[in-house]
């Protein structure tokens, strides 16, 4: 009983990690032609064809937050609600939307991670509305 209580959560976690690693193509780079951007190299491909909207958005946010600046992603999804919400969450992930290409089987979203911008904090007197 003790071993089952320890190894079952590890096994369930491994299923989720393995699924994400298999679907994210990190090694292969491919070249795509995008309108208004020309020819770009895609660094990472995320394939969410057949997945639900919530899973698509959560894994996309996770991958975008961990990516280095300048990385170009290709996100494939056949879920219309996921395709509509991903462009709205990109500014929070410090990313730019390059293009959305509509194909027969799915939609492909192309995203580039921006350089991180350091925001300076306001002085404490301004943030509270009083002078010192």
Q: Decide if 24 is inside a domain.
A: no
State how many domains the chain has. Answer: 1
125 lies in some domain: no
Q: Which CATH number characterizes residue 66's domain?
A: 3.30.110.40
Q: Can you give the pLDDT at residue 11?
A: 56
Annotate 83-97 with DSSP letters as a single string. Answer: HHHHHHHTGGGTEEE
Looking at every residue in the chain, the average pLDDT score rounds to 78
Interstrand relation of 44-47 and 107-113 (parallel, antiparallel or unpaired): unpaired
Average confidence (pLDDT) over 14-39: 65
pLDDT band at 73 (very low <50, low <70, confident <90, very high): very high
Q: Is residue 5 part of a domain?
A: no
């Amino acid at each position: 009983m003790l071993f089952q209580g320890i190894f079952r959560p590890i096994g369930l976690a491994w299923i989720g990690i393995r699924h994400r690693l298999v679907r994210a193509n990190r090694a292969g780079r491919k070249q795509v032609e995008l309108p208004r951007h020309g020819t770009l190299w895609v660094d990472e491909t995320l394939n969410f064809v057949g997945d639900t909207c919530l899973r698509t958005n959560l894994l996309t946010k996770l991958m975008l937050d961990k990516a280095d600046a300048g990385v170009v992603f290709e996100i494939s999804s056949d879920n219309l609600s996921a395709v509509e919400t991903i462009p709205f969450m990109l500014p929070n992930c410090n990313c730019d939307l390059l293009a959305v290409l509509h194909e027969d089987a799915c939609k492909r979203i192309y995203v580039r991670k921006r350089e991180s911008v350091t925001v300076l904090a306001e002085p404490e007197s301004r943030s509270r509305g009083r002078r010192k």
